[in-house]
Amino acid sequence: MTRRNLICIAVEHLHAGTVGAYGNSWIGTAAIDELASQSFVFDQAYLEHTALDEFYRAAWYGSRTESLQLAAESQRSLPQLLGTAGWHTALVTDSAEVASWLPGAEFAEQLLVEPGAETMSADDPAETELARLFSTATEWLVKPPREPFCLWLHSRGMGGAWDAPLAMRNRFAEEDDPEPPKLVVPPNHWLPDEFDPDEPLGIKHAYCGQVVLLDMCLGALVDQILDGPLAANTAIAFVSTGGFPLGEHRRIGPCDEALYNEIAQLVLMLRFPDVLGGLARSQMLVQPTDLPGTLVDWLELDRTGLGDGTASSLLPIIQGEKPTWRDHLRMTSRHDRALRTRAWHLRQPLTGAAELYAKPSDRWEVNEVSGLLHEVSEGMQAVLTAEVESPGAEVLPLAELLTTEVD
């Protein structure tokens, strides 16, 4: 039997609302959408914690241990498990932070693409930070790599330099719109009470130029994979590590990491070479913790040694089964906690009143309804408090009141 390969692409700060496959109709993300059309897409994927190291605690260990450091001290990671099983592992990244973590060092190869000191937009897309990173991954694949392999590509994405050619952001400005700002450093601030609406509009246009650049770079890499011999036995996972507020709730950039959908929702799609799950989608509530177990299961390896033994797998869902699945999930940031069910999103700031939003109709949390639905709000706050105070305790099914969608 031909041994299978993995290519995992993780991108920081990709706003799900800017991707065609997640509902956007005006930016144009042809390559991402083409990949989605051949993939199993998860519409309700959410981060567990806004911190990047916590994303990798989940994505490399499938563990619910409190931190990446604790996981690394006592558990087996995805690159470690694959290396032991005979897979050649490689990490390509433009993040020195990711490269420095212990699990990153467990890859047999590590290629760090040093970010430049960009102070202005590039004249050519090929000269951008994103292009240099994706070109390095493409060159690695051309060698050809030793099989079977796992290539993990981590991009700073929209957290890196916004250095796409100005034409790529200016194309989104209408005739009466202001010219998008020429900023290169990603913005990260609150909007004042009486803000000029032209400010978030221009920033949104600049951000969209970076999304188009990412789409271009991803398309070239995917074409390299699917137009060659790797297409027959290589799976592609594409995931974002978190979103990027673009003026929603008066925030530009991560700011205080408030757990609204613009930062909490992840892009997650899995393309398998045997068309497994192609053109299918799921509304199941999933998190990065589910990713490594899924990949190990597809490789037909034993995942009992992965992480702390709690790693889950999405493969039964992708295969069309209907497994018993979580009815809620919890999210955390420096200043917030949140609880999500199919029907509700509760945001609980560490200081301040809880907020409740109906799902899925209120995707971007516009209408706060805790004052109208005290029983739902109080019930979700009680669940959230219990889970925070007793981590690891047995999770009981939530009451129908907290999980039933309403009109």
Q: What is the pLDDT of residues 201-218, one digit of tens each?
A: 999 999 999 999 999 999
Nearest Cα residue to 398 out of 407, 390, 387, 389: 387
Which 3 state secondary structure label does DSSP give 246?
strand
Q: What residue spans define the domains of the chain?
A: 5-318, 329-403
128-146 CB burial, b ≥16 within 10 A, e <16:
bbbbbbbebbbebbeeebe
Structure tokens at 54: 């916590």
CATH number assigned to the domain covering 5-318? 3.40.720.10
Which pLDDT does position 389 carry in this prediction?
74
Structure tokens at 61: 């260990």
| Mean pLDDT, rounded, of the chain | 93
Compute the distance between CA of residue 42 and CA of residue 399 in angstroms, rounded to an integer.
24
Nearest Cα residue to 349 out of 227, 249, 275: 249
Residue 116 has pLDDT above 80, yes or no: no
pLDDT band at 2 (very low <50, low <70, confident <90, very high): low
- Residue 332 and residue 345 in contact, taking contact as beta carbons nearer than 8 Å: no
- Rounded to two decimals, the pTM is 0.96
Q: What is the pLDDT of residues 172-189, one digit of tens each?
A: 999 999 999 999 999 999
Q: What is the pLDDT of residues 43-71, one digit of tens each?
A: 999 999 999 999 999 999 998 766 888 88
Nearest Cα residue to 214 out of 235, 234, 244, 181: 244
Structure tokens at 391: 């981590």
